[in-house]
Amino acid sequence: MHQENDCIRAMVWQDGVLRLLDQRRLPRQEIWLELDDCAAVADAIRDMVVRGAPAIGITAAYAAVLSARRRHADSPHGWRAAFETDLERLAAARPTAVNLRWAVQRMRAVAAGRKGDPVPALLEAAIALHRQDIAANRRMGELGAALIDAGSGVLTHCNTGSLATGGYGTALGVIRSAWAQRRLTAVYADETRPWLQGARLTAWELVRDGIPVDLLVDGAAAHLMKEGRVQWVVVGSDRIAANGDVANKIGTYAAAVAARHHGVKFMVVAPSSTIDMSTPGGDRIPIEQRPADEVLSLAGQPVAAPGAGAWNPAFDITPAELVDAIVTERGVVQAPDAAGMARLMAEAGSG
């Protein structure tokens, strides 16, 4: 369904190497990096070549294949210790996105106790994870679109599309599905400082798909809502706590506060692998602090007065009481709280 809106992939396994579309160069250049080393993939995750929680997890799964191939070739009987070191380096590359550790643990479990060459089983698992993510995104797209009334405008923040996932997208997948169903009259995207994922990536994806999009500076979102231009804010998440608190790109919390004040609905779209039932609330989610230079400069050019410092958290926490719906491939939790999240995950475990 809607295959015409699904032509972008952020990562491709091809001829035994992992190819990553360098998202730091978009939209001006489409450059693919070919990586055959796990450490190089960990660096690429940390350096934002690939970003978005689901995409990071899938990339890490392929990186585990690269690690196993090299470590097993170097020491067919003693590869496990070096493989485990590689996995830990991968897991530490971005601390907030729970999908990263989830994928690393999944690949660790596949390798555990395996005799002989672990690479075929690990590659099969990585490819399956990639395919499952795309299928989950299409399911979330349909579930989320069903919540949006015809004639609505939507605002999204950061990038949650094919570039941030295995394909199709989470929040942007909902927007793709809603657009295909003729439910939307307008799509707005925050620029998303300091990396401008909205301007560089979300707008690029939507333009490529033929979906009209208007950009706005992050600080204009509240005024957009006041003017009645949007009925939903639709965002993704890098980690959702057991009580429904949501960690997402910095600026999401401000959008949620403004949405509640103006009577605009707020939807979070994320796969169930993003839900961390071992973290009771958002106050326990680690927030990645990134270098000051990201705020003090833009595309390598200084934009701030020399000598100024910067505070640069990559994420913020939106409390569950500001969220109207959490959409996963397993179902929708309306007005999320601890009980609702527990029911969803219990059903997921029995499904």
The whole-number pLDDT of residue 6 equals 65
Query: Is the confidence at residue 60, as pLDDT, over 70?
Result: yes
Domains of the chain plus CATH, in order, are 3-135 (1.20.120.420), 138-350 (3.40.50.10470)
Active site residues: 238
The whole-number pLDDT of residue 96 equals 75
Least confident of 3-7, 94-98, 188-192, 299-303: 3-7
The answer to whether 155 touches 233, Cβ cutoff 8 Å, is yes
DSSP 8-state secondary structure symbol assigned to residue 309: -
The whole-number pLDDT of residue 43 equals 96
Pairing of strands 315-318, 265-269: unpaired
Confidence of residue 300 (pLDDT cuts 50, 70, 90): confident
Q: How far is CA 264 from the centre of its chain?
A: 23
Select from 193, 188, 217, 182 the least CA-distant residue to 203.
188
The whole-number pLDDT of residue 107 equals 97
Looking at the chain, the whole-number percentage of residues with pLDDT higher than 90 is: 90
Q: How many CB atoms sit inside 10 A of residue 289's CB?
A: 12
Query: Is the confidence at residue 20, as pLDDT, over 50?
Result: yes
Select from 123, 128, 154 the least CA-distant residue to 141.
154
The answer to whether 165 touches 52, Cβ cutoff 8 Å, is yes
Looking at the chain, the whole-number percentage of residues with pLDDT higher than 70 is: 97
Residues in the chain: 351
Confidence of residue 2 (pLDDT cuts 50, 70, 90): very low
Mean pLDDT, the chain, as a whole number? 94
Question: Under DSSP, is residue 130 helix (H, G, I), strand (E, B) or coil?
Answer: helix
Q: How distant, in Å, are the alpha carbons of 233, 254, 270, 346 from that of 330?
A: 21, 28, 10, 10
Residues 6 or more apart whose CB falls under 8 angstroms from that of 327 comprise 140, 143, 144, 147, 174, 267, 268, 269, 270
Residues 6 or more apart whose CB falls under 8 angstroms from that of 78 comprise none
Which structure tokens are listed for 261?
């004040």
pLDDT tens-digit readout, 136-150: 999 999 999 999 999
Section 337-350 average pLDDT: 88
The whole-number pLDDT of residue 347 equals 80
The whole-number pLDDT of residue 180 equals 96
The whole-number pLDDT of residue 350 equals 52
Buried b (16+ CB within 10 A) or exposed e, 243-262: bbbbbbbbbbbbbbebbbeb
Q: How many CB atoms sit inside 10 A of residue 221's CB?
A: 23
Select from 74, 102, 73 the least CA-distant residue to 90.
102
Query: Is the confidence at residue 53, as pLDDT, over 90?
Result: no
